[in-house]
Structure 1
Amino acid sequence: MRKVNIPILTLLISITIGIVLYDYIKIQAITVWICSILLSLTGVLLNTFSRKKIIGSALFMCCTSALFITIGYLSRTYTDDTRSQTHYTHTNTEGSHTLLVKINRELKPTLYQHKYLVDLKAIDSTITTGKLLLNIYKDSATILPKTGEWWYARTALLPVPHPKNPYQFDYGAYLNKQEIYRQVSAKPQEMLRANKETYDVSVWASRFRESVKNSLHLQSFTPRQLAVIEALVLGQRQGIDKEMSSQYAAAGMMHILAVSGLHVGVILLILRFLFGFIKWRQLQWVKSLLIISLIWSFAIITGLSPSVLRAATMFSFLEVGELLGGKRKSQDAVLASAIFLLLLDPLLIYQVGFQLSYLAVIAILWVQPWLASFWSPEVFILRKLRDVVSVTIAAQLGVMPLSLFYFHQFPGLFIISNVLIIPFLGLILGGGLLVCFLSVTDLLPEFIAQTYGGTIDVMNNYIAWVAGQEDFVARHISVSATLMILVYMFMITTHLLCMKYSKRRLIVASLATIILTGFIVLENNQPASQHLAILNRNASTTLTQLQEKQLTVFNNDTLYLTYTDSRVKAYQDALKIDTVVQKSHGNYFRFKRKEILIVDSLDIYNLEEANPDYVILTHSPKINMNRLIERYPNCTIVADGSNYHSYVSRWKATCTKQKIPFHSTYEKGAFIID
């Protein structure tokens, strides 16, 4: 492990702290500017008069760190869209309005809707700014919007979706981190194209990708082959279905389908090979300039997505770093590229792809050489095999704690899948670029298309086989943010100790091990509180009862299966649940001395000696709410997602009038009984 550039690392950490602080502490920009100026002056004085003193050096480092914390805070301040007075969050957006939006990017569609990221330009002829999520209901006759086009939509601005069941992924919070605070849903007939269109590099790239996709669809490729080619070469994952996505994730090869650092890195290696004939020292800058220009050309063609943007920036810095001073400068360049990107777009710090890509590259640069040093074969093929295995292990070690925190699973056969595919990824990606070029110029021979399509099939089948080895895929692994940080501390201190033994490193590594072990023991001895939850689920009633390490799922639907329910999976991922049991529920039962009555479409609720604390309405019973309240005046009424919305609205109005507690899972999410 090469020595880390502590000053650059300190600056990166300080800027990150400043960016994160902005979301928790609001301070006026002028106050932060004053602090920055004072810290700068203090730093100059410390550097001038205390240059050779240890205390002075420590104070200078603290002062510099504080300065860059303020810089990170200011960068987040001035990139916050909501600071603009024209932002829609400062406007009354209740009810329907005529919206004018510009299409920025097409997102992956759902089963019923096309999705787009758009810029809001006006509300009812009033100039307005901000990002929105646009959902257009699918229609076979719909003319879909294209990137750069301006469209009118007559609809309402709605809150972004938040989870309605325990422990589910908070998509709304994810959108908020991208400064998307509202969404709009429209039918095709509610959309009208405006006589305006924006033309820029991203629009040109989008049109180019569309032409390439259209030309590929005229070839003899199968849908699954097309899906992989479009994802691999063009960065378009709309054709990747849920099954294929799950297979690649289980095999530890999801990075193949997302154009990111891996692809840009492969492109960098291909370009270095192609321009390897330029060996004159005076022309090395020309060589690097050509490589960087082609890397950015690939980034633009694939859509300049955040993952590609950061990868192109990182590898551009990497190329310049190697040109200036070899491997050591390359490591510094990676950290410098992260600082550069965060100052330009502070919200990148919240993107999982940004975190994973940098951790993977850092682990490869600092850990891979140490792993490779354990074996030095003389045979060329064995050396290359060693390099692939060591790079794969280093990258997985770097991202493993973070991956477990976000995705709750670990592919045990990642080495097998990566060792056989990564060495050929250059040929696969290069072949894909060649196929796309020949296809768009109408020069693609049929035998090349069939050969490349067959190669994609072999890769898909191999990935499917690896993913099918269920015993080697560890699922439902719960890792908290604190545990993730402690694991990284343990890994770093242990690796430093293995690199070079010293008493100080032994003490630090031992302390990290003790803290990690103690936290794991403490966390395992604090099980989640027992509760009963009435989940929000359309057309079906589902209740979950958590007791210690067992989750009991109540559902009377004979076709219902717990392992296909994402709500159950969320419980398993979050709480380390050992056992899931499926049962049918009765119409009257108890939980922790609380009595619960379920009223379904049979409308039976007038039970003798019944005194329920909660009445759950399911499957739209045709009841008289006033009579129900008169029969059980002290109950709380819960309507789950299986009821008609019109019924729920009527029940809610009656309960509000009668001052009876009412909860709709469709509006408020799952109802929890502790």
Structure 2
Amino acid sequence: MKYHPFAFWLFFFCLGILAGNFLEIPINWCIVGGAFSLSLLFFFRKQSRYFAYFTFLFCLFLGIYRIQKVNYKPPQNVNNYLKTTLQIKIIESLKPSKKYYKYKAQILPSQSDSLHLAQQSILLYTPKPQGEKFEHQTLWLHGTLSNISPPKNPHTFDYKQYMHRQGVELQLFCDTILLTNNPKKFDLKYQLSLFKSNFKEKLKQLEFSPISRIFIQSLVLGDRNDFDADFRQKLSAAGISHLFAISGLHVGIIYGFLFIIFYPVLFLPYGRNLRIILSITSIWIYTYFVGATPSVVRAAFMLTMFSLSFIFQRRGNFYHILAFTALILLFINPNYLFDVGFQLSYCAVFFIVWATKFFKPLRPEKGKFKIALFDLILVTLAAQLGVLPLSIAYFHQFSWLFLIGNLLFFPTSAILVGFCFSLFFIVSLGITPSFLVKFSNLIFGSFDSILNLSVENEAFLIQNIHWNLGQILTWWGIIFAFAYAIKNRKITHWNILLTLIIIFLSFGYFDVFQAQNKKQFIIFHQQQGNLIAYRAGQNLWVFGADSLSSIYTIQPFATQEEIRKIEHHPFDKDLTINDFKKSHRFIQWGENIILINPQNPKIPTQADFLYFTQGSPELDAKNLNQLFIFDGASKSWQVQKFEAKNKHFTADDGFFMLEE
């Protein structure tokens, strides 16, 4: 506490955020608890131990209050698929899909807003033939309003929860844009959005190759919307995704360029401080230009704190600055704690700083090349191994090429950023010679070719890894234990390391043990299709999966559930596996009997479930007690029209599962 007060405050503030997010704690309790702890703080202000305890308590209540205050939304009475006409204002452009442009927007007050949704944020989809729209434009449009759907299948990405943390609960699919209005007065956000769109169009007109446009747009504009799945996979396989994200490294490179550009300022009165102030001001202007994402704001804020320590000639403690910036950002928006980029960014920076200081005695004293190589390897290992648990938790893969990839591409990152910014200014001024376009395409094409060579061997990429929370926490303990064991070479530290490794393996074996004893039958939701699976231990038999559902539905389930073997079969195939029997008319698993598309009105009493794979059955279900199951092949209007006592529709209720 004495040496790192911000770290303790941050820890308890984060605990408060987690408690407020996962527990239903009345906000009035938080206010009362915060006021009580604050009064105790004042009362015990001269007793350092009790003062510290009540400071922690206050931070805890403050975290609970902030997450509940930010995430509070008034109750909404919105029926799904409601046709409506609304006036909206575009707030932010998001990554488009093949058919739609996508935006975060705000509903404006209007007479047609019968649901009183004014000031509510929505996710807006507009058809691409109706053209791209820009931030702070207002639109009159007609479309279908609905709640954002929760995940329909187990272990798939929860987009509803993700958008909830962005303050968005509703989505609107636009049919027709009736009127588009530009801001009447000068609007910087609108002008920047328009400028970026025109700049991207210029790159196409000048015949920059797609890979060149990806480099320029990502490294200058912070725009990664043109990244396709293949390119993202290549970056992940090479372990260099961070080189294309505008975060600490990127901001640091730009700050270095600005320091060089503002060198003449040194000859003015107070030139040293003025140079720092101009550089920091330029960084914040750039932060606003690229959209002020959490990683960029974090880097700019941290850089500002360091720069201020130089101006006031005070030695800055990096851990204090790291914790302080995190505390401020989380106070502004507690949902940053659940942002993947925020977590990866702070985790990487912490381990880089810790490793740099911890292994400083091992750093070569002579030889610039040796020192640079040592620093590069140390920074790469610290960052990659430090964020490894988070990478596996979110992306379920690990690349052995991360060290080679960073050794190849990290030294050239500053050159690439400088070259891309030079192209940005040249293209913006309209003085781009054709030879420069060809040269750029050659450079970026060569980079892409090297990237392809480095990742063409898939053996270096380990995919579908699952770690539980115990393994994630234990891994960080292993890193610290290994570092101390290497540095101090004491048997005690090696024993601690060995113990942590055993604990890590035990957590993994526990998951495997649980998986081996599971038996399940699942009816997944597959849009306009049928998809079922039988699971026995670590084996999975899948019926009816198409290429997309194999990747986005089956694989996430298999990864999280420790499935080691997957067999794919056509939906109509008959198969018998131990006590599981499937035919085109029924499925029998133990005592459970599921009839498939029964046509006979006389349903056997032994049947527990009635599964319909296409449309509405021609049955009188009023007197039937069995559960009627409809999957994604059925139309919503057909299922809604069908009357039954018990009904499960995967499009509304999600997947259906039986467990033994």
The TM-score, its normalising length taken from structure 1, stands at 0.86
What is the Cα deviation at residue 185 of structure 1? 1.1
What letter matches 1:665 in structure 2?
T
- Which residue of structure 1 aligns with residue 595 of structure 2? 597
Contact 2:151 2:157 in 1 (8 A): yes
Contact 1:318 1:331 in 2 (8 A): no
Please tell me whether residue 364 in structure 1 is matched to residue 352 in structure 2. Answer: yes
Please tell me whether residue 76 in structure 1 is matched to residue 67 in structure 2. Answer: yes
The SS at the match of 1:479 is: coil
Choose from 5, 8, 25 the match for 2:6: 8
- Which residue of structure 2 aligns with residue 614 of structure 1? 609
Distance in 1, matches of 2:132 and 2:196, equals 16
Please tell me whether residue 569 in structure 1 is matched to residue 564 in structure 2. Answer: no
Choose from 113, 131, 150 the match for 2:121: 131
Distance in 1, matches of 2:196 and 2:588, equals 59
Give 1:233-632 correspondences, 5 Å limit: 233-275=220-262, 283-321=271-309, 329-371=317-359, 373-376=361-364, 378-496=366-484, 498-500=486-488, 512-513=500-501, 515-527=503-515, 529-555=518-544, 560=546, 564-584=550-570, 585-586=573-574, 587=584, 588-599=586-597, 612-620=607-615, 624-626=618-620
> How far does the alpha carbon of each residue in 1:468-515 deviate from its partner, in whole angstroms, 9 at most, with x for none?
221111111112234322322343344355555789977876765564
> How far does the alpha carbon of each residue in 1:523-553 deviate from its partner, in whole angstroms, 9 at most, with x for none?
3322263111111113332211111111111
The SS at the match of 2:301 is: helix
> How far does the alpha carbon of each residue in 1:179-223 deviate from its partner, in whole angstroms, 9 at most, with x for none?
211111112x25432475575443333233223223222212112
Please tell me whether residue 664 in structure 1 is matched to residue 633 in structure 2. Answer: no
Identity %: 22
Contact 2:212 2:440 in 1 (8 A): no
- Which residue of structure 1 aligns with residue 578 of structure 2? none
Distance in 2, matches of 1:25 and 1:251, equals 40
> How far does the alpha carbon of each residue in 1:249-270 deviate from its partner, in whole angstroms, 9 at most, with x for none?
2222222333233321222233
The SS at the match of 1:79 is: helix
What is the Cα deviation at residue 581 of structure 1? 1.0
Q: CA 1:349–1:613 in 2, change beyond 3 Å: closer, same or farther? A: same
Say which is worse superposed, 328-337 or 9-18, in terms of deviation: 328-337
What is the Cα deviation at residue 372 of structure 1? 6.0
Please tell me whether residue 221 in structure 1 is matched to residue 215 in structure 2. Answer: no
Q: Which runs of 5+ in 2 are unaligned?
A: 575-583
Distance in 1, matches of 2:313 and 2:244, equals 33
Distance in 1, matches of 2:393 and 2:311, equals 37
Q: CA 1:524–1:327 in 2, change beyond 3 Å: closer, same or farther? A: farther
Contact 1:321 1:332 in 2 (8 A): no
Q: Which runs of 5+ in 1 are unaligned?
A: 52-56
The SS at the match of 2:342 is: helix
- Which residue of structure 1 aligns with residue 100 of structure 2? 113
Distance in 2, matches of 1:435 and 1:494, equals 45
Distance in 2, matches of 1:562 and 1:550, equals 21
What letter matches 1:624 in structure 2?
E
Contact 2:137 2:183 in 1 (8 A): yes
Choose from 16, 20, 26 the match for 1:22: 20
Distance in 1, matches of 2:33 and 2:270, equals 46
What letter matches 2:656 in structure 1?
F
Distance in 1, matches of 2:161 and 2:603, equals 47
Note the aligned Cα RMSD (angstroms).
3.2
Contact 1:321 1:329 in 2 (8 A): no
> How far does the alpha carbon of each residue in 1:32-60 deviate from its partner, in whole angstroms, 9 at most, with x for none?
34433442343344342x45xxxxx2x33
The number of equivalent residue pairs is: 641
What letter matches 2:98 in structure 1?
L
Choose from 35, 56, 64 the match for 2:55: 64
Contact 1:233 1:433 in 2 (8 A): yes
The SS at the match of 2:135 is: coil
The TM-score, its normalising length taken from structure 2, stands at 0.88
What letter matches 1:539 in structure 2?
Q
> How far does the alpha carbon of each residue in 1:93-130 deviate from its partner, in whole angstroms, 9 at most, with x for none?
67433322110111111122211011222363557222
Contact 1:202 1:303 in 2 (8 A): no
Contact 1:101 1:118 in 2 (8 A): yes
Distance in 1, matches of 2:554 and 2:230, equals 19
What is the Cα deviation at residue 579 of structure 1? 0.9
What letter matches 2:148 in structure 1?
V
Distance in 1, matches of 2:93 and 2:548, equals 33
Distance in 1, matches of 2:456 and 2:636, equals 41
Say which is worse superposed, 71-80 or 636-645, in terms of deviation: 71-80
Distance in 1, matches of 2:374 and 2:489, equals 25
> How far does the alpha carbon of each residue in 1:205-245 deviate from its partner, in whole angstroms, 9 at most, with x for none?
32332232232222121123212321221111221112112
Distance in 1, matches of 2:450 and 2:502, equals 41
